[in-house]
Structure 1
Amino acid sequence: MADETAARTDLADLARTRMDELQLSYRRASVLAVDPEDPESGSLWTRGTLENLANRRVIKAPGPAALRALAAALQLPLRIVQDAAAGQFMDIDTLWDEDEETRLMVRHYQSLTPEDREKLRAIAEAWGRPNQG
């Protein structure tokens, strides 16, 4: 299955770009990919899986611990890695309000009309505002 190419590559592109920025080899990134909530578990990403991910090959969707470990290796906030994984593995796009406190997750966001996208942004903004009354 590793020979097949992923349909969406959000997490793959994020990982490849960030590894380039940090000048991380697959091997070094694999060593750093430890879940900060359970460091005793050791590395949760193999060199081969990271290489398959970065080369846009299909891999098994990572779970929460693996995403925390990847965020640690890439030195990124967890939510950025989670959003990229949601896009790649579930075709879900994430919208944040201006304060980045409210997150709206939408399937097939890119296929919506500009008007519908704006409605969703307005919902996220309204939801994030404190009640006034």
Structure 2
Amino acid sequence: MFAMEAKNGSRSETVMSPERRTHLGDLIRARRAELGESLDTFAPKAVDPDSGVRVTRGYIYRLEKGEKVTPPVYEELKALAVAARLPLERLQDAAGSQFHGVDPLRSGSGEATAYVRKLDQLPADQRDRLLRLIDTLVPPESGDE
């Protein structure tokens, strides 16, 4: 949830709005902050373990600042997922949103959309536990981690 301040006459109040889908740059910047990583410590970890493709510090900086960058290829997304310690699918959704205007909620089934909206209401620790449960029922495909 994001807090928004609304001016109401002479007083201000905080209104909670539903969590928005994030762009890749926003996701990486927020995740680096969560991990307590600077660009200098994060960038060297952004390496695809299969291909060896690296994402440079400069690219990450420009991505986070919203400057014009080339959309990342699959191996670059894998490298960023490794550094961010996030599922590749989450970065793919964010990249699709930022570079191609794809809303991952609208591209799934109606039932999946309803589940995702409910998922956004759970605290982070419960979301993580639910994801681990789902992974035991439907294991990630090899190479997706």
In 2, the alpha carbon distance for the partners of 1:27 and 1:46 equals: 10
Q: Aligned runs of 1:3-14 on 2, under 5 Å?
A: 10-14=23-27
Residue of structure 1 aligned with 2:34, choices 12, 17, 21 = 21
The TM-score normalised by the length of structure 1 is 0.63
- Determine which structure has greater relative contact order: mean sequence separation of CA pairs < 8 Å that are 6+ residues apart, divided by chain length: 1
Residue of structure 1 aligned with 2:66, choices 51, 56, 59 = 56
Alignment-derived partner of residue 140 in structure 2 = none
Q: CA deviation at 1:123?
A: 8.2
Shifted more, 27-36 versus 83-92: the winner is: 27-36
Number of aligned positions between the proteins:
94
Name structure 2 gaps, 5 residues minimum. 1-21, 115-145
Shifted more, 20-29 versus 81-90: the winner is: 20-29
The TM-score normalised by the length of structure 2 is 0.58
Q: Aligned runs of 1:36-115 on 2, under 5 Å?
A: 36-38=49-51, 41=52, 44-95=54-105, 105=107
Name structure 1 gaps, 5 residues minimum. 1-8, 96-103, 107-119, 126-133
| Stretches (4+) displaced over 2 A | 122-125
Q: What is the RMSD computed on CA atoms of the aligned residues?
A: 2.3
Q: CA deviation at 1:124?
A: 6.9
Q: How high is the sequence identity, in percent, across the aligned residues?
A: 37
